[in-house]
Amino acid sequence: MQKPDIPDIEGIPLVGLGTWNMFGKECARTIAAAIDMGYRHLDTAQNYRNEKEVGEGVELSGARRDELFITTKVSTYNLEPSALEQSVQESLEKLQTDYIDLLLIHWPTPDMDLEATLSAMFRLMAEGKIRKTGVSNFSPVLFREAISIGPVICNQVEFSPYIKQDDNLAVARDSDLVITAHTPLGKGRACKDPKLQQIGKKNGKTAAQVTLRWLLQHGNVSVIPKSSNMEHLQENFKVFDFKLTGDEMKMISDL
């Protein structure tokens, strides 16, 4: 496994691999190939129904467990404490690991007891089954509430030039926490955007690379683009060797 110098924040590598809608052998092979390229942040979820394949990909890669950062998410139907603890044990078995680096509440629900759910996650931290806790798809108000309960370090939300997260980002900055951007390329829209392509041409980069760089330059942001295309996997990872100007940042924000 290569060991590039990958920046991180709060221990979360700034660029990771999203695995939504990846299944079977393709998922396992993609995970192994990404790790070989230098990825060490892998993102999955109970709802994705591919934790087993992610674990198989890690095993196939031959990487040491302590070289990787694995995130998974608790489904909405497992937020009651006893169900949460049982589901995490199942996730550990599927992922073939003794611990999860980051466990997230996948989605908030109107009837969830946020304090009880997070307290169950904190107990799992104390037992060494998870290293860090966070939330996903939380509004800024709910994110602040979660932070007030205990050591929540991130909120994973959809964040791209077309879906802004200024308020959630402000919450993260106030507490020096992390926003993890899922769907950062707008489901492929960014790759075809003429303005992003123009900025990319100027910098010798693709529109996708420009988009990921724009997100990272906000600070307090990590990104988890999803791809099973080997060329795109390489491109998405190579975003630390250039910097966008202030004018370029504004042009992208204005999209």
Q: Which active-site residues does the annotation give?
A: 48
The H-assigned helical ranges of the chain are: 24-37, 51-61, 81-95, 114-126, 140-149, 166-175, 194-203, 207-216, 230-237, 246-253
Cα–Cα distance measured from residue 82 to residue 85, given in angstroms and rounded to the nearest whole number: 5
Cα–Cα distance measured from residue 163 to residue 137, given in angstroms and rounded to the nearest whole number: 13
Among 224, 216, 12, 9, smallest CA distance to 103 is for 12
Cα–Cα distance measured from residue 124 to residue 126, given in angstroms and rounded to the nearest whole number: 5
In this structure, the number of other CB atoms found within 10 A of the CB of residue 205 comes to 22
Handedness of CA 140, 102, 182, 96 (dihedral sign): negative
What 3-state DSSP class applies to 133?
A: strand
What 3-state DSSP class applies to 250?
A: helix
